Each structure stands twice: as C-alpha cells, then as structure tokens.
Amino acid sequence: MISKINLRGYFLAEAFKNGKRVYKFFSPNKITPGSSTILSSILGGRTQGWNPPSTDRFGITKFVLYGIDTTVGTCSAQMLAGDFGTDYNDLDPTLLTEITAIAFPCMKVAHTLTVSTVPTQPCNAVPAPASGIGYISSDVLTTHIEICVRVGAGFVPIGETWYYSLAALVGQSPDPTDANEYVYAIEQFPAMFKTSEVSFQFRWKLEFGV
C-alpha cells in the first residue's frame, strides 16, 4: 500500500489555459515506503544542469505524470474523484517499472508524460516551455530542495482531452553499478485535464536534515 507518511514539504499542481489558472491542487507530501531514510543522500546528487545521456545520473532525474483511462467504469470514477480506492491497497511501488497498467488498472500508458530535460537555471528562472516541451529544475538549499516542473502546451492532439491523476519523482542510486530508476515520492490528485492549449506547472518541496 502507498505510504501516507507526511514528509515535510508540499506538492503543488496547477494548470493554465490562455494565461488563466484553471486548476490548482496543494497537499503535504506522500512518499514511498523507506524513502524518508535515503532522501537526504539522494538529494545530495546532481539536480541541475544535467543533460541526458550523462553518466552522472545520481539524484532526482525524472518527473513522470500519468494519464488515466476514462473508459474503465468504476475505476475511472475513483480516479476522477482523486481516490485510488480498493484497487490499489496492495500497491507498493519501488521501481519505476512497477507503475504499469496492470498495477494501476486505470493507467493510460499512451498518455504518460515524462519530463527529464533539465535547464541550468533554478526554478524561478526557468522560462515557459515552447509547445511540446517540458522542463524539470530545482533549487537546492541547506534544508530542502524545491523541484519545479513546467510543461508547455501541446502533448495532446487538437480536439482531444487527456486526464492525469498521478505524479512521481524518480531518481537513481549513487551506486554507479545500479541502473534502476526508483520512485522516491508519489502523489495522487483529483484528475486534471490537458488539451493542446493547456500548460502545467508543478512544485515539489522536499525537506531534509531538520
């Protein structure tokens, strides 16, 4: 089962259309089991200025936003309401590969959006992405890291609407022989929509060492 432990910090999701905010969700963090004991080590890694496929992959390396399928009956209703319900009681993701349409019956795999393009600027200096572009960056301070994700317009064909209800922060181990991608924080939220005109903005604050 996904841990409901509150790590100090927060998750903020917003959607904008034509410059107007059309969605906002704010919540204390939820982290996957065991992550709180290793976050300070993981966050000590590189989080800015990373250009894949760099061999220096240690740290938070990826943000993944999961689409949901609106055609799957009651499961869809749970997701749209922001409640995973009984379908997810046994879910305990550790690896990114564990989040699948089998483990999450509502997931629309084709609608998954992955952001791993890391500019060198800290969060407040990252420009709005062009259509079809997403950025992840961070501000690293003594006691916390704030990760920001900006997703430009596009990503959805004109005339269609895709829905999202789950986000994950993904990182890799400081062990250079370990190529696995681990889910360090996961957040569920009431479904937000995206059309070709809608852009997203996320902030994920993680505090440690206090």
Domain annotation covers residue 3:
no
Domain annotation covers residue 130:
yes
pTM of this prediction? 0.80
Domain annotation covers residue 1:
no
Domain annotation covers residue 39:
yes
Instruction: For residue 210, give both structure tokens.
Output: 């206090």
pLDDT at position 12: 92
SS3 string, the chain, reads: CCCCCCCCEEEEEEEEECCEEEEEEEEECCECCCHHHCHHHHHCCCCCCCCCCCCCCCEEEEEEEEEECCCCCHHHHHHHHCCCHHHHCCCCCCEHHHCCCCCCCCEEEEEEEEECCCCCCCHHHCCCCCCCCEEEEEEECCCEEEEEEEECCCCCCCCCCEEEEEEEEEEECCCCCCCCCEEEEEEEEEEEEECCCEEEEEEEEEECCC
> From CA 76, how far away is CA 87, in angstroms rounded?
11
pLDDT band at 84 (very low <50, low <70, confident <90, very high): low
Query: Which percentage of the chain shows pLDDT scores above 70?
Result: 71
Please list the residues that pair with 208 across neighbouring strands: none
Tell me which residue range forms the domain holding 81: 9-207
> Is the N-terminal amide bond of 157 cis, ω within 30° of 0?
no
Task: Indicate the residue type of 5.
Answer: I
Domain annotation covers residue 4:
no
Triad 148, 150, 151: Cα angle to 5°: 150
Round the CA-based radius of gyration of the chain to a whole number and report it.
16
Domain annotation covers residue 2:
no
Average pLDDT value for residue range 151-170: 90
What tens digit of pLDDT does each residue of 22-64 get? 999 998 766 555 555 555 555 544 445 444 444 555 567 788 9
pLDDT at position 133: 92
Domain annotation covers residue 54:
yes
Q: How far is CA 157 from the centre of its chain?
A: 22
Q: How many domains, in total, are found in the chain? A: 1
